[in-house]
Homo-oligomer: A and B are copies of this chain.
Amino acid sequence: MSKNQKFTLVKRPVGMPDDTHLKLEESDIPAVGDGQVLLLTRYLSLDPYMRGRMNDGASYASPVGLGEVMTGEAVSEVLESRHPDLSPGDMVVGRTGWQTHSVVHADELFRIDPELAPPSAWLGVMGMTGFTAYVGLLEFGKPKAGETVVVSAASGAVGQIVGQIAKMEGCRVVGVAGADDKCQHVVEHYGFDACVNYKDDDFKAQLAKACPDGIDVYFENVGGKVFEAVMKLVNTFARIPVCGRIAHYNQTELPEGPDRMIPFMGQILVKRLMFRGFIQSDHNELLPQFRRDMSQWLKEGKVRYQEDVVEGFENTATAFQGLLQGRNRGKLVIKVS
């Protein structure tokens, strides 16, 4: 019988993770118990939030333990089933981690419908990142026609979908990304009204020019200097769904002062701003509605998406480092087998 290949966390990174933190190992594949299935991973999702799971200490969920398989979602094929609802050949999505094989209970899996979208899309536009965009923008951003929506990490898996939904809502959509080709792509391919490269020297001036009526919704994915520039432009009653802060995930110490907390809270008060941190998994009651809407939008061509597919399970750790450095173009997935 073949062996399981897996990436385990062997050292907690301080700052950016490198090759010393994750180890590619082999292990035996466990026996399939009652109600369980044996899965072969087809596509593995890589997402910025995984960096947080490598730290010790509370985040949304418990950290990955040292020696444990890195956590993550994957689309897999059922090889063997001891549950009546699943059969060999079925394609499922589940939180099975960075490994080629897994044995899990069928209750922890969702069987995808390949008629609605291809398998890898269930990790992106039809899966966690698409749902993140949907929940964050519609539940917390609450964009109204004619308003200006700014999306950071605009070309990423979440940002590209946020912008397209906001366009359908009748908003002016301005992206922020870290490369000119990313900016060009979101304008030409996803219909953003404008996109600004935050690495440009005159980024603040460019952003102000792209938002002549100020900013009503800021979909926060990054933190850092983008957040600062946005805060100078927010309108009264702006909503800021806080989805991620990738600029800070590898930060090891606080910047020197002055402490900006006090003027920040003053701005919340005077401009009556709304900030809301969120994670899509708190809102699973909206999943059926999301899947219905998104599959319809895909069919009608109203939402497009881009995947950055890296072939070969052994490249997972390197691809993840690239993700944290902004090297991917669109939703990053590993094509495992």
Q: How many residues of A contact B (CB 8 A)?
A: 41
A276 touching B274 by the CB < 8 A rule?
A: yes
Indicate how many identical chains form the complex. Answer: 2
- Against B, the Cβ 8 Å flags (1 = close, 0 = not) of A217-235 are 0001001000100000000
Q: Across the two chains, which residue of chain B brings its CB closest to A263?
A: B254
- Against B, the Cβ 8 Å flags (1 = close, 0 = not) of A265-309 are 111111111111111001000000000000000000000000000
B277 touching A268 by the CB < 8 A rule?
A: yes
Q: Which of A108-116, A141-149, A243-251 contacts B (4 or more CB under 8 A)?
A: A243-251
Interface residues in A52-103 by Cβ distance below 8 A to B read: 52, 58-60
A258 touching B261 by the CB < 8 A rule?
A: no
Q: In the complex the two chains form, what is the Cα distance from A262 to B275 in whole Å?
A: 14
Given contacts A275-B274, A275-B275, A276-B274, contact A245 B269 (CB under 8 A): yes
Q: Which residues of B contact A245 (CB under 8 A)?
A: 262, 265-266, 269
A257 in contact (CB, < 8 A):
yes
Q: Across the two chains, which residue of chain B brings its CB closest to A249?
A: B266
Q: In the complex the two chains form, what is the Cα distance from A279 to B257 in whole Å?
A: 30
A272 touching B279 by the CB < 8 A rule?
A: yes
Q: In the complex the two chains form, what is the Cα distance from A145 to B257 in whole Å?
A: 40
A259 in contact (CB, < 8 A):
yes
A272 contacts which of B266, B274, B277 (Cβ < 8 Å)? B277
Q: In the complex the two chains form, what is the Cα distance from A259 to B258 in whole Å?
A: 6
Q: How far is the CB of A115 from chain B (nearest CB, A)?
A: 34
B258 touching A260 by the CB < 8 A rule?
A: no
B262 touching A223 by the CB < 8 A rule?
A: yes
- Against B, the Cβ 8 Å flags (1 = close, 0 = not) of A184-220 are 0000000000000000000000000000000000001
A272 touching B278 by the CB < 8 A rule?
A: yes
Binding site for B on A (CB under 8 A): 52, 58-60, 220, 223, 227, 242-245, 248, 251, 253-279, 282
Interface contacts beyond A223-B262, A254-B260, A272-B282: sample of 6 additional A-B pairs, CB < 8 Å, sorted by A: A223-B265, A255-B259, A255-B262, A267-B277, A273-B276, A274-B277
